[in-house]
Structure 1
Amino acid sequence: MESIPRIISVDDHTVEPPHVWSDRLPAKFRDVGPRIVRAPVKEMTFVGGRFTPVMGDPGDGGPEADWWIYEDLHRPLTRLDTAVGYSRDDVRLEGITYEQMRPGSFSVPERLADMDRNHVQSALCFPTFPRFCGQTFTEAKDRELALLGVRAYNDWMVEEWCGPQAHGRLVPLCIVPLWDAGLAAAEVRRNAARGVRAVCFSEIPPHLGLPSVHTDAWDPFLRACAETRTVIAMHIGSSSRMPSTSADAPPAVGSVITFANCCFSLVDWLMSGAFERFPELHIMYAEGQIGWIPYVLERADVAWEQNRAWGGVADKVLRPPSELFAEHVHGCFFDDAFGLRSLDAIGAGNVLYETDYPHSDSTWPRSKEVAEQQMGHLPPDVIERIVRGNAIELLGLTEEGLWAHAAG
């Protein structure tokens, strides 16, 4: 028997191929919808948690990249989008073309081959150009086009990325029009009808100019997720603001504290009353790691017990936050030895494994070895739950860990 069963990764990424929107938008929008152009990189910085690229003119010379163009947005593909196969010392902030990335980033057959090499059976993939919760479309001016862009991405995700050639091994994760909770609910239901069980959401919606989870503004969306058993998946950076300490802090500072927004977000949800209103709701935090969770739960319980009378939650949070966490929340990690030593304080049923392919933090192609090193002290049944069993239950996969609704 394998010491580590075949992995189901709940946080990988797809780099969308150039045709996603040009093939699916109505003809009148194809020249203004998301499209790829090749152009020089004039300047690119990532300081204080903010990514700032500047596209040069074709005659400027210098290194070229493939850029997504959409309204006022000019977003290059970068080495950070797809770093697997490169030495960590060679992974720099630079623009790249499709030819310069590992084909598994955007090609289904190549992705499956790279999953085989990494002991991964199935994978749930977050977007790249739409960003981690589709905020690219939320920030757009033309709402009609933005809604079509959301739907086009979801159709591509379900029908092509997770279509017949994936053999059920790629699990769909959709986006929603965050600017309208009613439209978001409709998109959840549209995709749930074809077997989708996960949807992206922002870890801290007010950072995107949207209502917080302490309001009832999201109730149509939350109700749709609860009724369809669609998991709300929040990736680090899904509030378009990576944690940092100062405007001049180097990216390494943010790399250490990437979990911080997950921490803040978790407290928001635990104190929001959402789990009381929607008992079937489940949320998960992608790439946030898990070692920070025990103290936050301890502190949340103390604050709830001692301060709820004046803290504004007595009438809506009726049980200790740690109980709500146990029933509704799932933390995801790819490299967290400390968190695994603290598993009893988190809950083996609340932890999922990921590989983060093809990002610079990815453990590919050593995800199995990392798991063996960090989970060696755990009994086999607990290891099985973490690396695949919990994902099967949460995402409604088959007993074999596959997406049952893959066409063909």
Structure 2
Amino acid sequence: MTSTNNVAPGDFSQFNFDTEAHLANAHAQSQTRRYDDFLIVDVDSHHYETEAFGEIAEYIEDPVLRQEAKYQGMSRGGVTSVDGSYQEMAGRVLRYPLRKSEKVPLTIHRDITLMRRWMDAMGVDMACMFPTPMLNISTCPRVQVEVELARAYNRWLCDNILAEEPRLTSMLYLPFNDPEACHRMVEEFGDRKGVIGFMVTATHYKGVHDNAYVKTYAALQERNLPIGFHAAYTWGDSMMSLTNRFISVHALGFVLHNMVHMMNWLVNGMPERFPKLKTVWIESGLAWIPFLMQRLDNEYMMRSSDAPLLKRKPSDYMREMFYTSQPMEMVDNREALELTFKMINAKSQLLYSSDYPHWDMDLPSTIYDLPFLNEQSKRDILGGNAQKLFNLDPVFSAEKLRRRSMVSAAE
């Protein structure tokens, strides 16, 4: 790739980006760590739906909003008034601005090609893909915009991506500011190919325990589809507005909202009301979970009357929930991480996630290289747990199948 010296800030028009070259070191890791021997499932990865927003806008049913969306676009002050430019570090994380220049064949949808490339480079066989700018449309003051865009995106994703690529799945976006729309979304898309659950963006101000969502939870439980709470941040939150650096709002915001929702989920007895509904807590890291276990257990033992539906301590329910690994806090104190794994029953409840292509992504080696995990636990976290949770039919990458066949022939 051409050097970026003497290039005007923000001017990347002359560059051609190559995902496979960008992830060459990740691919080398996948070759030396025996990833060929087992399934790897990435439960939290992303694409940039704004790159296909012209296609998605055509799925918007409301003609006025459709025209508005086509005119204004989606991100950076567009129809949703969302700005996520801080994550790009002013263009220093090159895969953000350069991915638009990457050349792809015209015979396959661009998003499928780009997803395949990074998955193959990392050794990932299957991935659950989420949108990126849309994770913040829950903060848009116009509820109709969230509902219309969510349905348009879900239809576009099912029709153009999930229907065409068996290695790709998704937990579809629920417009949580409209409970009835959430229920309709599950009813309409719950049986579509590649749909393995539904996702709520954490940055909203609706109580997850509100009876308005009972129909949605019941519909998910009936279909054996998990509900995920995907962390995000908003600088518009009154508490987060006190911070003055991205590192601050990211460190706290991605945890705080999910902590509040889990607190309400537990204290209001949702695990007892919907005992077969599985919950997945996405992209909040892991360090906050032991804290909340201890804090809630301590409070519960003094005021159990405040949570009359619970039959066990809050931590007992939390150990039955599922968590995605990224961004796993890789601090110097490895004993703290090992204790965290033990407290959350990680061997069966932790799901590997890369969060690619975001700036703080984690490779599969983040899990595979942990010295306190045995081989079976590594394989379960990297893919086996997700296969069981989502009832996946394994689909291996073409490269992994080719290498397997070569080994078999040699033997």
TM-score range, shorter chain: 0.7 to 0.9
Query: Within the alignment, does 1:213 sit opposite 2:208 as a pair?
Result: yes
Shift of 1:259: 2.3
Corresponding residue for 2:23?
Answer: none
Deviations 1:218-248 (A, max 9, x none): 2111111211122211122267767966624
- Secondary structure at the aligned position of 2:59 is classed as coil
Using a 3 Å threshold, how does the CA distance of structure 1 residues 369 and 197 change in structure 2: closer, same or farther? closer
CA contact (8 A) 2:221 2:276 kept: yes
Is this contact kept in 1: 2:175–2:200, CA < 8 A? no
Pair 1:193-2:191 in alignment: yes
Deviation of the 1:135 alpha carbon: 1.6
Structure 2 residue runs of 5 or longer lacking an equivalent are 1-31, 331-335, 398-411
* Residues 36 and 67 in structure 1, CA contact (< 8 A), matched pair in contact too: no
Secondary structure in 2 aligned to 1:171?
A: strand
How far apart are the structure 2 equivalents of 1:106 and 1:376? 38
Is 2:252 the partner of 1:259? Answer: no
Aligned match for 1:183, one of 181, 187, 193 = 181
State the TM-score, normalized to the length of structure 1: 0.74
Question: Cα distance 1:399–1:124, how it changes in 2: closer, same or farther (>3 A)?
Answer: closer
Partner of 2:115 in structure 1? 111
Which residue is equivalent to 2:6?
A: none
Describe the superposition over 1:95-122 as per-residue Cα deviations: whole angstroms up to 9, x where unpaired.
9587368989962112201111111111
1:151 aligns to 2:151 (yes or no): yes
Instruction: Normalising by structure 2, report the TM-score.
Output: 0.74
CA contact (8 A) 1:21 1:30 kept: no
SS in 2 for 1:174: strand
- Structure 1 contact 202–238 (Cα < 8 Å) conserved: no
Does 297-306 or 241-250 show the bigger shift?
A: 241-250
Report the alpha carbon displacement of residue 351 of structure 1 after superposing the two structures with TM: 0.9
1:334 to partner: Cα distance: 4.1
Q: Is the 8 A contact 2:58 2:66 kept in 1?
A: no
- Please say if residues 39 and 384 of structure 2, whose CA atoms lie closer than 8 Å, have aligned partners that are also in contact: no
SS in 1 for 2:318: helix
Aligned residues: 351
* C-alpha contact (below 8 Å) 1:292/1:339 kept by paired residues: no
User: Match for residue 41 of structure 2?
Assistant: 8
Give secondary structure in 2 for the equivalent of 1:108: helix
Matches for 1:165-314 after TM superposition, within 5 Å: 166=165, 168-195=166-193, 196-203=195-202, 205-206=204-205, 210=206, 212-237=207-232, 247-257=242-252, 258-309=254-305, 312-313=306-307
Deviation at 1:360, TM superposition (A): 1.0
What is the alpha-carbon distance in structure 1 between the residues aligned to residue 321 and residue 366 of structure 2? 27
Judge conservation of contact 1:199–1:232 (CA < 8 Å) in 2. yes
Give, in angstroms, the shift of residue 150 of structure 1: 2.3
Q: Cα gap change, 1:100/1:273 in structure 2, threshold over 3 Å: closer, same or farther? A: same
5+ unaligned residues in a row in structure 1: which ranges?
A: 39-64, 403-408
Partner of 1:320: 313
Which one has the bigger strand percentage?
A: 1
Give the Å deviation of 1:372. Answer: 3.2
Q: Distance in 2 between matches of 1:102 and 1:37?
A: 26
- Kindly indicate whether the alpha-carbon contact (under 8 Å) linking 2:231 and 2:282 is maintained by their aligned counterparts in 1: yes
Alpha-carbon offset, residue 174 of structure 1: 1.0
TM superposition shift of 1:255? 3.1
Deviations 1:281-312 (A, max 9, x none): 11111111112312321332222222213xx2
SS in 1 for 2:171: coil
Residue number among 5, 21, 26 corresponding to 2:56 in the alignment: 21
Q: 1:180 to 1:333 in 2, by over 3 A?
A: same
Take 1:173 and 1:158, find their aligned partners in 2: how far apart are those partners?
Answer: 11
Q: 1:8 to 1:119 in 2, by over 3 A?
A: same
